[in-house]
Chains A and B, each alone.
Chain A
Amino acid sequence: MANTALETTAPAHVAASGNRKWAIGFASVVSFFFILNKFVLPAANSDVQRFFNNWFSLTSMAEIMIWILMALGLNIIVGYAGLLDLGYVAFWALGGYVAGWLMSPFFSSLQLNFFGNPRTGFEFGIHFHVFLVLILGGVFTAIWGIIIGGPTLRLKSDYLALVTLGFGEIIPQFMLNGADIAGYNVTNGAQGIGGLDDVNLFGYVIGTFALPEKFLMVSLMAGAMIFFSIRLRDGRLGRAWLAIREDELAASMMGVPLWRTKFSSYAIGAVGGGIGGVGFAILVGGVYADRFNFVISIIILAMVVMGGMGNVWGVVVGATVLAWINSIGLIQVGEVINNAFGVKVNFPSYQFLIFGLLLVLMMLFRREGFIPEARMRMVMNEDKLEDEEKVTDETKIGHH
């Protein structure tokens, strides 16, 4: 079982990822927006305020961070291991409900406080410390990743896509119908669970409306996810993922345990969704079942595909751009165009067309994404390569 062959020839990009320049870049972007919104904007004149609120509102900046987290989680499954997951929203929902269950007065018959920070007058329910909730959210979704992946990872790739899609539909529906499971109110149904506890970090309380601090918090989470994504990819497990993505048969001959490797990509990818779910629940102060639908899964997939499957930076850029377009970009750009040409086009109503066409055109003309990884470009364009350049053979993700 020894992977000596893999270990002695460390990939060339290990050296490149050794530098931490990205961390400085990421930190400066995050602190720019934090300082801007915390100190500069409240004192600025109304024109400046309006510009930033229209084009870079902090709410959508914080949401972008959540999308980055999600997209990087899915990237582990789709980009690294080459398994298609069409129900990633299930992990988002599960993570969100973990936060809803463990840091709110929802289970009113219980009174459990574990370093939590309940609001005065709402001491009943379960109140865990936010770090604990993050960990438990990750563990919980990892278990679900195993439950979903376990029995199905031996299936053909497109069957696997369907099973994940099925779970992506079932879990939000369970949350929606969960107000009465054999008489018990598990999820509070369509009303969702609101009134989450304020986060208490070592005595510093982030209030419900302290948006700059919340932004900082989710940015830290996204930064950690970027870090882990890069480190995982270069590690033994990450290289095993890339190997099975490119050629399952060859990988298994080299001693990569296929099932266990696929399994771990599912579980670890799910953790991203779970932690993102917790973060989003804290951000909006609650968790609401009707937000979790199939379109979300597809948008996350589009982020991964557009940016460049398997490449962390591609995915980060893809997530940022698409999330921005989705939340404010389409409205704002549309308004500018409407004003400039004196027309009245309802740009947000073109969302479906834009996402659909984006996916189709990307697949037709630039399958590897805008910021691809060199290896992925070869995998995705296998049919256009000369014989001797081929990295996959006919048995792999490839054709039939």
Chain B
Amino acid sequence: MTSVASGVARKKKITTGAVLMKVSMVLIVGVAVYWLGLNLTNDPRQFAQVTVNGLNNGLLYALIALGYTLVYGIIELINFAHGDLFMLGAVFSFAVLTELLGAQSPSGTNYALLLVVLLLTMAFGATVNVTIERLAYRRLRTAPKLAPLITAIGMSFVLQWIGLKWIGSNPVNVNTVLPATSFEISGVIINFKTLVIFAITIPLLIVLAFIVNKTRRGRAMRATAQDKDASRLMGIDVNKTITFTFAIAGAAAGAAGIMWAQTTGTVAYNLGFQLGLIAFTAAVLGGVGNLYGAVLGGVIIGLIQSYNDGLAIGPGQRWSQTMVFTILILLMVYRPGGLLGETAQEKV
């Protein structure tokens, strides 16, 4: 299909298809910017309020997206079970913190318990993820791509079933240990919960970035992602490195799970599917395989969803999911590499 190199440098051909792509992309971005601008001038206070809410969700999405991006980066697998791992994390934290330890109202000891259970949930998420990798994905590492992908879908169903058996088919209310208090900055209400999310997720993200970028293990991860065989020749234990990656991803999902349960006050067995897809969209938006991309993508998706749900002029909440998936599809069409990634077109 591609032309044979002729030796003479030729001018790049401008096709109508390419022009159409560019024009339509500019048009879509233009409409989005116009929509946001319209809302900003219409009611700046509400806009700021919705932005704060969006950041709140966006950081949670970022934590989940991180797991997708790490796993995809290292073994090129869309880990469909990751969203359900997040759900199990939320359910686990509910079972331990709310039911077993009885921490159901704000108090000093309960805050301490929250931190302890946060660590426990992260350990739980890491264990489950590593177990799944050990039992299933590792054995399919050299298999055709369809096999691990379908396995991941199967795992997602198994995890959902565990959640279903654990808390039943109806959403469960969680009495959170975080107080419902809030304060106001020039008309914008900021919840205490939002601050807690900032205080927990941002350090977590920094620690994760540090692990991947600065430590020996992190360097091994990046090397394995680039070239498994070369890494093996350089003395890197590839299996251990992949296990470690799954552990980190699982821990991040666990942390996101407990934060979700504590801030939204509900857990449900089917939480993971929708949120997993949203988070994966976030990972793709940022550029899958790119750590900072996942965070950026998570925040952007959180903001967009919040703008869609909360702004006076807009499609409204019932189109929330459609909005996210439309972004996913548009991204695939216009920029499959994401905002910070490289292009991912297959040669045809």
Cβ-based interface call for A127 (8 A): no
Cβ-based interface call for A237 (8 A): no
A359, B154: Cβ atoms under 8 Å?
Answer: yes
> How far is A65 from B346 in the complex, measured between Cα atoms in Å?
37
> How far is A86 from B277 in the complex, measured between Cα atoms in Å?
13
The 0/1 profile, CB within 8 Å of A marked 1, for residues 133-153 of chain B is 000100111111111111101
| Stretch of A194-202, A208-216, A228-236, A348-356 that contacts chain B | A348-356
Cβ-based interface call for A154 (8 A): yes
A399, B144: Cβ atoms under 8 Å?
Answer: yes
Residues of B within 8 A of A159 (CB): 284, 332, 336, 344
B277, A165: Cβ atoms under 8 Å?
Answer: yes
User: Chain B nearest CB: distance from A128 CB in Å?
Assistant: 29
Cβ-based interface call for B308 (8 A): no
Nearest A residue to B346 by beta-carbon distance? A156
A163, B157: Cβ atoms under 8 Å?
Answer: no
Nearest A residue to B319 by beta-carbon distance? A177
Main secondary structure of the interface of A (DSSP, over half): helix
> How far is A380 from B345 in the complex, measured between Cα atoms in Å?
24
User: Chain B nearest CB: distance from A107 CB in Å?
Assistant: 23
Cβ-based interface call for B326 (8 A): yes
B348, A359: Cβ atoms under 8 Å?
Answer: no
The 0/1 profile, CB within 8 Å of B marked 1, for residues 381-400 of chain A is 01100000000100011111
Cβ-based interface call for A345 (8 A): no
A158: contacting residue among B78, B139, B160, CB under 8 A: B78
Nearest B residue to A351 by beta-carbon distance? B161
**Number of contact residues on B: which range applies?**
35 or more
> How far is A305 from B336 in the complex, measured between Cα atoms in Å?
28
Cβ-based interface call for B105 (8 A): no
B348, A166: Cβ atoms under 8 Å?
Answer: no
A355, B154: Cβ atoms under 8 Å?
Answer: yes
Known: A163-B332, A350-B161. A359 touches B150 (CB 8 A): yes
Cβ-based interface call for B210 (8 A): no
B157: contacting residue among A151, A356, A382, A396, CB under 8 A: A356
Residues of A within 8 A of B148 (CB): 363
Residue of A86, A301, A349, A359 contacting most chain B CB atoms (<10 Å):
A359
Residue of B145, B277, B284, B336 contacting most chain A CB atoms (<10 Å):
B145
A399: contacting residue among B139, B143, B153, B158, CB under 8 A: B143
Known: A156-B346, A258-B1, A358-B154. A399 touches B145 (CB 8 A): yes
User: Chain A nearest CB: distance from B278 CB in Å?
Assistant: 11
Known: A151-B333, A349-B164. A161 touches B78 (CB 8 A): yes
> How far is A333 from B149 in the complex, measured between Cα atoms in Å?
30
> How far is A355 from B159 in the complex, measured between Cα atoms in Å?
12
The 0/1 profile, CB within 8 Å of B marked 1, for residues 353-383 of chain A is 1011111101110010000000000011011
> How far is A168 from B76 in the complex, measured between Cα atoms in Å?
23
Cβ-based interface call for A335 (8 A): no
Cβ-based interface call for A157 (8 A): yes
> How far is A115 from B227 in the complex, measured between Cα atoms in Å?
64
Chain A, range 161-178, C-beta contacts under 8 Å to B? 161-163, 165-167, 169-170, 173-174, 177
B325: contacting residue among A166, A259, A359, CB under 8 A: A166
A177, B332: Cβ atoms under 8 Å?
Answer: no
Cβ-based interface call for B12 (8 A): no
B158: contacting residue among A84, A86, A357, CB under 8 A: A357
B144, A397: Cβ atoms under 8 Å?
Answer: yes
Cβ-based interface call for B305 (8 A): no
Known: A349-B164, A352-B158, A355-B157. A157 touches B151 (CB 8 A): no
Nearest A residue to B132 by beta-carbon distance? A360
Nearest A residue to B169 by beta-carbon distance? A349
User: Chain A nearest CB: distance from B32 CB in Å?
Assistant: 17
Chain A residues bordering chain B, tally (CB within 8 A) = 54
B78: contacting residue among A162, A177, A360, CB under 8 A: A162
User: Chain B nearest CB: distance from A77 CB in Å?
Assistant: 12
Cβ-based interface call for B322 (8 A): yes
A353, B78: Cβ atoms under 8 Å?
Answer: no
B142, A353: Cβ atoms under 8 Å?
Answer: no
Cβ-based interface call for B214 (8 A): no
B147, A363: Cβ atoms under 8 Å?
Answer: yes
Residues of A within 8 A of B345 (CB): 154-156
B155: contacting residue among A82, A163, A356, A396, CB under 8 A: A356
Residues of A within 8 A of B159 (CB): 356
> How far is A209 from B87 in the complex, measured between Cα atoms in Å?
43
B346, A155: Cβ atoms under 8 Å?
Answer: yes
Residues of A within 8 A of B76 (CB): 158, 400
B325, A356: Cβ atoms under 8 Å?
Answer: no
Cβ-based interface call for B318 (8 A): yes
Cβ-based interface call for A298 (8 A): yes
Cβ-based interface call for A294 (8 A): yes
> How far is A82 from B147 in the complex, measured between Cα atoms in Å?
12
Chain A, range 139-161, C-beta contacts under 8 Å to B? 151-159, 161
Residues of B within 8 A of A349 (CB): 164-165
A399, B142: Cβ atoms under 8 Å?
Answer: yes
User: Chain B nearest CB: distance from A119 CB in Å?
Assistant: 32
> How far is A167 from B318 in the complex, measured between Cα atoms in Å?
16
A353, B158: Cβ atoms under 8 Å?
Answer: yes
Cβ-based interface call for A188 (8 A): no
User: Chain B nearest CB: distance from A260 CB in Å?
Assistant: 10
Residue of B149, B154, B156, B318 contacting most chain A CB atoms (<10 Å):
B154
Residue of B144, B280, B326 contacting most chain A CB atoms (<10 Å):
B144
Residues of B within 8 A of A301 (CB): 150, 153
User: Chain A nearest CB: distance from B327 CB in Å?
Assistant: 9
Residues of B within 8 A of A174 (CB): 322
Cβ-based interface call for B61 (8 A): no
Known: A154-B346, A363-B148. A169 touches B321 (CB 8 A): yes
B1, A155: Cβ atoms under 8 Å?
Answer: no
User: Chain B nearest CB: distance from A41 CB in Å?
Assistant: 35
> How far is A174 from B323 in the complex, measured between Cα atoms in Å?
11
User: Chain B nearest CB: distance from A247 CB in Å?
Assistant: 12
Nearest A residue to B328 by beta-carbon distance? A166
> How far is A173 from B136 in the complex, measured between Cα atoms in Å?
33
> How far is A241 from B301 in the complex, measured between Cα atoms in Å?
37
> How far is A177 from B325 in the complex, measured between Cα atoms in Å?
15
> How far is A159 from B96 in the complex, measured between Cα atoms in Å?
37
The 0/1 profile, CB within 8 Å of B marked 1, for residues 326-351 of chain A is 00000000000000000000000110
User: Chain A nearest CB: distance from B72 CB in Å?
Assistant: 9
Cβ-based interface call for B273 (8 A): yes
7 A/B residue pairs, CB under 8 Å, sorted by A: A152-B332, A169-B321, A177-B322, A363-B147, A364-B139, A392-B144, A397-B145
Q: Which 9 A-B pairs have the closest CB atoms?
A: A356-B157, A359-B154, A352-B161, A356-B158, A360-B154, A383-B142, A166-B325, A353-B161, A363-B151
